[in-house]
Amino acid sequence: MDTRRVVVTGMGLVTAVGLDRETSWASLQAGTGGIGPIENLDTEGFKTTFAAELKGFDATVVMDPKDARKADRFAQIAVVAAAEAMAQAGNPVPADPFRAGVIIGSGIGGMLTFEQQHLKFIKRGPRGVSPMFIPMMIGDMAAGLVSIRYGYRGANFCTVSACASGGHAIGTAYDQIKLGHADIMITGGSEAAVCNMALGGFGNMKALSTRNDDPATASRPFDAERDGFVLGEGGGILVLEAEEHAVARGATILGEVCGYGMTGDAYHMTQPDNEGIGAIGSMQQALRTAGISA
């Protein structure tokens, strides 16, 4: 089965520069940024007062309002992005639902729910905690809600590996198809942690940029004057399929996943190896699995 080709038939985006694929792409082409002063919480006392927030996001454009209320924001984002990706793919219905799965990564999961429910616990005690707290908080609920929506009964879980969570999800979903375990996978990543605890935690570990006077230029990953990353929220979802499956149903093929690599630095909890050993190894793996010579 390792000769199977894995193709992309759908893409969905919910970002700080657009709540759908076309708007996000147009914003990127125009050089429009999505970073600005935080609007959804009081930033008094925080070292960083800006983020890449979603403006005007409303999950009920896709989800039933009752279901949306039972889902954390990160899961709502995943469902909305998945709906766009699946629509582009033609909403494929697999002949065997056990050969279709969902893997969606999230580094933090339902931190907003955790924070809100903790405040209720402090105020009202154990009885104040919602019975939906655990299902809303856990990281795999994004994948769970998407699988329920489309009836996909194959592999269904969340990859949790900090900033690499979404990438690991896509690589793992690719493996499911490449190795013959699935014919179609919904995969990607979703995050929504612009909240007090994340802003305080990341800020106190000096991970966030503090360019409060010029947030639009704060995200500069390869700049000598970089002073940290920018907290943001959003999601991106792909529909991956075995090439023969996509061709058989007449789907439009948007691209191909030829290979990927996964490595670790084995160096520090938060700081990458100074020599880039892990990054180099990951790129080499990706080239090898794709059959491309360096």
Q: For residue range 177-225, what is the model confidence (pLDDT) as tens digits?
A: 999 999 999 999 999 999 999 999 999 999 999 999 999 999 999 999 9
**Same-domain pairing of 41 and 152:** yes
The answer to the question of residue 52 being in a domain is: yes
What is the DSSP pairing of strand 100-105 with strand 156-157? parallel
Q: Which pLDDT tens digit goes with each residue over 235-252? A: 999 999 999 999 999 999
**Same-domain pairing of 147 and 293:** no
**Structural domain count of the chain:** 2
**Same-domain pairing of 249 and 289:** no
Task: Based on DSSP, count helices (H) and strands (E) in the chain, helices before strands.
Answer: 10, 8
The answer to the question of residue 136 being in a domain is: yes
The answer to the question of residue 217 being in a domain is: yes
**Same-domain pairing of 286 and 143:** no
Which residue segment(s) compose the domain that 192 sits in? Answer: 6-257
pLDDT at 141 > cutoff 60: yes
The answer to the question of residue 150 being in a domain is: yes
- For residue 3, the model assigns a pLDDT of 81
**Same-domain pairing of 232 and 285:** no
pLDDT at 294 > cutoff 80: no
**Same-domain pairing of 271 and 250:** no
State the amino acid at position 160 in one-letter form: V
**Same-domain pairing of 155 and 94:** yes
pLDDT at 73 > cutoff 60: yes
Q: Which residues contact 140 (CB under 8 A, 6 or more apart)?
A: 156, 157, 158
pTM: 0.96
Q: Which pLDDT tens digit goes with each residue over 22-37? A: 999 999 999 999 999 9
The answer to the question of residue 242 being in a domain is: yes
Distances (CA, A) of 99 to 71, 94, 144, 145, 196: 26, 7, 16, 17, 40
The answer to the question of residue 11 being in a domain is: yes
**Same-domain pairing of 179 and 74:** yes
- For residue 177, the model assigns a pLDDT of 98
pLDDT at 92 > cutoff 70: yes
**Same-domain pairing of 205 and 64:** yes
CATH code, domain carrying 40: 3.40.47.10
**Same-domain pairing of 195 and 280:** no
- Contact (CB, 8 A) for 260 and 159: no
**Same-domain pairing of 220 and 137:** yes
The answer to the question of residue 1 being in a domain is: no
Give the mean model confidence (pLDDT) for residues 257-282: 93
**Same-domain pairing of 87 and 165:** yes
- Rounded distance between C-alpha atoms, residue 17 and residue 55, angstroms: 8
The answer to the question of residue 208 being in a domain is: yes
- Rounded distance between C-alpha atoms, residue 21 and residue 17, angstroms: 10
Gyration radius of the chain over CA positions = 20
pLDDT at 1 > cutoff 60: no
Length of the chain: 294
